[in-house]
Amino acid sequence: MCGNVGLGSYTTEEIAISKFKATCLAVLEKVRKTNEPILVTRFGQPIAQISPPEGAKRVPRLGGGAGTMVILGDIVGPIGDESDWEAAQDPKTDEAKKPE
């Protein structure tokens, strides 16, 4: 059974020892990727905590990419001349221009 347990300022994922045994490598990979500890339990009682190494940097999930992008140019305005757009054409004037 997996769950979340509150420890300090964040929640720690909880996993039963039987599920940990069956998915050990995947759990270790998850800890490596997220830098979040996982609590291993037996009959609902904590018996071990899988944590990232002390030197691992903890990346915040929300806003983790803040300040990593650069906006080049106008991101709201059109990228070309609006008169080239089919949707910007007036259908009444287009009918008058068609040869018969």
Q: Which of 10, 22, 20, 26 is nearest to 48 (CA)?
A: 20
Enumerate domains of the chain plus CATH numbers. 3-50 (3.40.1620.10)
28: helix, strand or coil: helix
The CA-based angle 60-61-64, given to 5 degrees, is 65
Query: Which tokens belong to 13?
Result: 């994922």
User: pLDDT tens, 44-95?
Assistant: 999 999 998 887 666 666 777 788 888 887 778 777 777 777 877 777 765 5
Q: How far apart are CA 76 and CA 91, in angstroms?
A: 26
Nearest of 25, 62, 17 to residue 42 by alpha carbon:
17
Answer yes or no: are the C-beta atoms of 32 and 23 closer than 8 Å.
no
Q: pTM for this one?
A: 0.47
pLDDT digits (tens, 9 = 90+) for 13-22: 999 999 999 9
